[in-house]
Structure 1
Amino acid sequence: MGEDVKRTTYERVDRQEYRRKVQLCLDVFETMLAQSSFDFDRPLTGMEIECNLVDDDYQPAMANQDVLAAIADPAYQTELGAYNIEFNVPPRALGGHTSVQLEDEVRASLNAAESQANADGAHIVMIGILPTLMPEHLASDWMSQSARYAALNESIFNARGEDIHIDIDGPEPLAMTSADIAPESACTSMQLHLQVSPDDFAANWNAAQVLAGPQLALGANSPFFFGHQLWAETRIELFAQSTDTRPDELITQGVRPRVWFGERWITSIFDLFEENVRYFPSLLPEVSDEDPAAELAADRTPHLAELRLHNGTVYRWNRPVYDVVAGKPHLRVENRVLPAGPTVIDMLANSAFYYGMLRTLSEDDRPVWTKMEFAAAQRNFIESARHGMRAHLYWPGLGTVSTEALVIDELLPMAYAGLDRWGVAAEVRDRLLGVIEGRARAGRNGAEWQVSTVRALEKRGLTRPAALAEMLRRYCGHMHSNEPVHGWEVPE
């Protein structure tokens, strides 16, 4: 859920002091990059999975407080919506048979959480956007009990000065307005973390930006919102619009959005934090008692609270992370591109593809981003969000090709090589990347299965709401089977 805050409203003096502290933190961070010892000797990976709660009729269940109390596990936390929870997977190294152990642990934890949730009449669903979510579900009492979320809602609307406009095209376009950030709660994702050294950060972030399009084409799982079929990964555009602090005039002037792909390749992690401070006013101007310069001078590790809090309100799809664990600082690339679901094995296959590709691309003597305009990576990202497996993507040396051709002929061999460099056991590598190959050849990800199933059910005479609920019922059954989505049956 991010760093919590103590207040929901702020005064002018708070913003002035916060601005000073953020700049001080940035200056200290720059010094640390040049002088400090960061923890990266044993790179760790991490995962966060955001989930939805539904009732026995597969409608949103606004019950996360009761469900979390029943689960009673600190690995599970609140998210923005009262029908959302988040599962934090403990960090670990990538090599050997780690992914097999991770799969067993994640499935066991989610199954135990599901059993506890059932006692409150709820079920846990891993999916990008809950397809049965409708406007009436977000009319009232939709927000989790958290000062952070209340403060974010207040700050975004103070910045905009008007209601949020949601306007998304697609097969069944949707246009609406919202008086709060409730639509953002519909967007649930899987976040992948990789701990890196300061010297290696830029190469890994640039590689992650290149990969964002192919990742999304393979993993799209959010085709419906408020009953409308929109993009294959509607979550991308919905999240961007539902947190936009800019009225139309600022958009016209070219002011950057809070949900941001970026605009250039970088040479240092400092580039990203410096952009955050330069381009984005504070949303949560919470000031800590720490003097980061004094901490550094005393040979202690500053927490840089203001810089970290500010970073958490700039929603890059690949976000830089500074953190302190056991008194030692480290840096991470946080990949926020993928939706949750459909199954644990699908998510682990997505992560294996990502980590394998990242290793190969970041260590290339002539990196792919030196042969590719940044705008081309962004176009791939949007094309993939719109069309999923049907996207046609640009790749240097190939031009514009189908997702299947790009993944099978170009990317999978690199992913295999990257996992070998990580020391992943061959049988684990082959199983996980075999899922990616099967999905690419079948042309079926979560979004494709959802749309095909709803269409088939509507042909049988079901209304759209009934078809969405029945599709979600079948989805949950497949989700618990842990069979990869490309093998799921579609009704005739």
Structure 2
Amino acid sequence: MGIIERGVQTAGTDDPLEEGRFDGDKLMAGEFDPSGRRRQRVRLRQCLDGLGRLLADKRFDRPKNLMGLEIELNLAGADGLPRMMNAEVLERIGSHDFQTELGQCNLEVNIVPHRLRGRVLDQLSEELRTGLSYADRKAREVSSEIVMIGILPTLAADDLGSTSLSYDDRYKLLNEQMLAARGEDFLIDIEGRERFTYASASIAPEAACTSVQLHLQVTPGRFADAWNAAQAVAAVQIAIGANSPFVFGHEAWRESRPPLFLQATDVRPPEIAAQGTRPRTWFGERWIGSAYELFEENLRYFPPLLSTGEDEDPLRVLDEGGVPELQELALHNGTIYRWNRPVYDVVDGVPHLRVENRVLPAGPTVTDVIANAAFYYGLVRALAEEPRPVWTRLPFAAAAANFDAACRHGIDAVLQWPKSGRSASLARTSAVRLVREELLPLAASGLDSWGVEPADRDRYLGVIEERCKLRVNGASWQTATYHRALAGGLDRDAALAAMTRRYCALMRTDAPVHTWPTDLSG
């Protein structure tokens, strides 16, 4: 999931290193001796003060209705097993649209920002299919294949150690800093349908998690409403889009990325965690009133891990009439892994803010990805404009509990949601019923408000409706097919590999996952 996250040109990617915003050889960690850490806090405070002035002076870009999309990908062989060769594949692809990720079995594709209007969904679908098809052809030249999936089921814990990190000093540096902050191995302990425990001497297990990241550029005045709406619906996104039921060959939660990502990046020793100290990967703890509050929380709760080494004085830049890059603030923000993250960026000398939604797993197909995006963008627009917003009626603790329930149970999750009408009470309802009866109509109205063509709206929201009707998503398909393979006499490893090969074949048809057969033939 982009272990060091970036900022980019408009509403696209989110890792400040991988797009060249920060050169890897300029990043600094060794300066964090006692006096160096104090200096870094001063730099970050100056950046936060600069952000506060920009907000007060209303210096941000005007509304453009821009959205961006990026997808993290896996590499596997024809046998369904992981392939640690992203450098070779990226050299063959030869396009800046594809970038490295943390693990050698990962890469990422970025789609240029688009305006949310007209036939944008079909346009995104066509661009994504074309790009992935080209990348897959190039990967096959070196006996590899592109796979869109939340966690590759055939990945083993031994596949992801420090030697499996991508060949770049920035990953090595972050790994060293996070390991030093923790002071001991990272413990992975996930109890789902099976329990998996593993001690890792590096952050490499995070590379198992591959996601779709949806960006929405918003004005400062609309940021809080968009972020709160995104937080409120994160559980629903997971419930209908879960696609990561296996962790290193063990059947875990229906969407296992959140617990795995949290534990693989958890720099708190157990004693510190027991005191209630916040992890660097977290859902949050309250609704907000401005983007500033999130950046301020970053400084208040989380010590910096890295520095850019830049000498920018944000307040001086503002005094001279310029716009500060706030690089230290952006880098620090990029090492704190919120499921809905604030992003500050500057394009052509004009600053803007984005909500970056990091909830969804990759895949299963391009059609499924675009359907998930249509549901998200429509729903956030509609909920953000409601006269009595859902977050004024839904306690934040309930939203966090919903997220946990959706990760554990996927499309079978039962969620808490405010009752209709003027009542302030909550009702427990199945995720699929909530989506079909209440949220899909809202998403449709939101897409209408964006100006999306009805044909696009109906096609992609129809995919969500059919998933709910049949109670099938990527996670339920994977587990059903895996258990069918076990019942047919295959052992665990063979069943996982057979299921993964079948998944890859069906993924390339672009038929949405709710239409896939669960047998291994074909």
TM-score normalised by structure 1 residue count: 0.98
- 2:450 aligned residue: 422
Q: CA deviation at 1:162?
A: 0.9
Could you say what the CA RMSD is over the residues aligned between the two structures, in angstroms? 1.1
Structure 1 segments, 4+ long, off by >4 Å, are none
Number of the residue aligned with 1:73 = 95
Kindly indicate whether the alpha-carbon contact (under 8 Å) linking 2:278 and 2:301 is maintained by their aligned counterparts in 1. Answer: yes
3-state SS of paired residue (2:482): helix
Q: Deviations over 1:60-114 (max 9, x none)?
A: 1110011001000001000000010010110010111111111111100110111
Q: Does the 8 Å contact 2:28/2:308 carry over to 1?
A: no
Structure 1: where are the runs of 5+ without partners? Answer: none
Residue 43 of structure 1 deviates from its aligned partner by 1.8
305, 309, 329: which one pairs with 1:307?
Answer: 329
Pairing 1:81-160 to 2, within 5 Å after superposition: 81-139=103-161, 141-160=163-182
Instruction: Encode CA deviations 1:287-333: one digit per residue, 9 max, x unaligned.
Output: 21212111111111110000000000010000000001111100000
Quote the sequence identity (%): 53
Query: Quick one: which of 417, 424, 428 aligns to 1:395?
Result: 417
Q: 1:90 aligns to what SS in structure 2?
A: strand
* Contact 2:78 2:501 (8 Å CA) reproduced: no
SS of equivalent to 1:88: strand
Indicate yes or no: 2:219 matched with 1:206. no
Q: Conserved in 2, the CA contact under 8 Å of 1:52 and 1:84?
A: yes
What is the aligned counterpart of 1:316 among 319, 335, 338?
A: 338
Query: CA–CA distance in 2 between the matches of 1:409 and 1:269?
Result: 32
What displacement does 1:404 show? 1.4
Distance 2:353 2:29 in 1: 31
Distance 1:211 1:120 in 2: 41
Write the deviation string for residues 406-442 of structure 1: whole angstroms up to 9, x where unpaired: 1101111101111110111111100000000000111
Which stretch of structure 1 is more off in the superposition, 475-484 or 13-22?
13-22
**Structure 2 residue ranges without an equivalent (≥5):** 3-14, 18-23, 420-425
Residue deviations 1:101-148 (CA, integer Å, cap 9, x gap):
111111001101111111111100000001000123124521001222
Corresponding position of 1:236:
258
Matches within 5 A, 1:217-228: 217-228=239-250
Quote the residue 2:194 is aligned against.
172
Residue of structure 2 equivalent to 1:480: 508
Q: Deviations over 1:325-366 (max 9, x none)?
A: 111100000000000000001010000000000001001111
Q: Which residue of 2 aligns with 1:462?
A: 490
Q: Separation in 1 of the partners of 2:463 and 2:389?
A: 27
Match of 1:191 in 2: 213
Task: Identify which range, 147-156 or 194-203, moves more after superposition.
Answer: 147-156
Residue 181 of structure 1 is matched in structure 2 by 203
**2:439: which partner in 1?**
411
Tell whether the 8 Å contact from 1:14 to 1:287 is kept in structure 2 after alignment: no
- Secondary structure at the residue paired with 2:164? coil
Structure 2 Cα separation of the partners of residues 436 and 242 of structure 1: 31
The AA in structure 2 aligned to 1:10 is G
Alpha-carbon distance change, 302 to 139 in structure 1, aligned in 2, over 3 angstroms: closer
How many residue pairs were aligned? 492
Aligned-partner SS, 2:335: coil
Scaled by the length of structure 2, what TM-score is found?
A: 0.93
For residues 277-296 of structure 1, what are the structure 2 equivalents within 5 Å?
Answer: 277-296=299-318
Tell me how far apart the structure 2 counterparts of residues 240 and 40 of structure 1 sit (CA, whole Å).
35
CA contact (8 A) 1:343 1:485 kept: yes
- Checking the alignment, whether the CA contact within 8 Å between 1:166 and 1:238 is kept in structure 2 is yes
